[in-house]
């Protein structure tokens, strides 16, 4: 077991983890933050996307021990004071989700895209979402939501 200290959504957590514990399972099972989902076992689907030190990463492909001393933001940390983040609001308004399973990862990826490119074109959004799979929406409304969320985030 290794002792780690990870700040998740602004709260510092000290915990003992097995080295093989993936960051996503640390977040889900040890911290009880189950908003971050696991959709595959090959780093393909992006459902587990969180921010590590402000950058989007696939938390299924990071060991919890690698996040020691670092800052993580999950979907639970996005809304502030009960108010949805502009990207969450945009997904709601543009019907950018159906079953909602890919949604937390999709939104975290989208926030990351807009952090790096505040005014993305449709083509840029589609390209930048290459690592996040959705099976319900055909991406049409997700892409609209990201563009609209970008405008609202300015």
List the interface residues with other proteins, window 121-150 (CB under 8 A): 122, 125-144
The residue among 78 and 154 lying less far from other proteins, judged by its C-beta, is 78
Give, as ranges, the residues between 86 and 105 that touch other proteins (CB under 8 A).
Answer: 88, 91-93, 95, 97-104
Q: How far is the CB of 71 from other proteins (least distance, A)?
A: 14
152 in contact with other proteins (CB under 8 A): no
Angle, CA of 92, 115 and 102, to the nearest 5°: 40
What is the size of the binding site for other proteins (CB under 8 A)?
80
- Nearest partner of 68 among 9, 11, 14, judged by Cα: 14
List 80's β-bridge partners, or say none: 83
16 in contact with other proteins (CB under 8 A): no
Give, as ranges, the residues between 37 and 96 that touch other proteins (CB under 8 A).
Answer: 37-47, 49, 52, 55-58, 60-63, 65-66, 68, 74-76, 78-79, 84, 88, 91-93, 95
113 in contact with other proteins (CB under 8 A): yes
Contacts (Cβ under 8 Å, ≥6 apart) of 133: 39, 40, 44, 45, 46, 47, 102
Tokens 């940390």 locate to 77
Q: What is the DSSP letter of 28?
A: I
């Amino acid at each position: 077991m290794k002792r780690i200290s990870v700040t998740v959504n602004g709260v510092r957590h000290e915990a003992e983890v097995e080295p093989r514990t993936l960051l996503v399972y640390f977040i889900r099972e040890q911290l009880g933050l189950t908003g971050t989902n696991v959709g595959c076992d090959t780093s393909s689907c992006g459902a587990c996307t969180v921010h590590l030190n402000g950058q989007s990463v696939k938390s299924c492909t990071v060991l919890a021990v690698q996040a020691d001393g670092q800052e993580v933001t999950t979907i639970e940390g996005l809304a502030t004071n009960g108010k949805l983040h502009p990207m969450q609001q945009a997904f709601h308004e543009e019907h950018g989700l159906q079953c909602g399973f890919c949604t937390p990862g999709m939104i975290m990826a989208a926030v990351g895209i807009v952090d790096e490119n505040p005014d993305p074109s449709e083509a840029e959004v589609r390209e930048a979402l290459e690592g996040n799979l959705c099976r319900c929406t055909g991406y049409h409304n997700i892409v609209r939501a990201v563009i609209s969320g970008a405008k609202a985030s300015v």
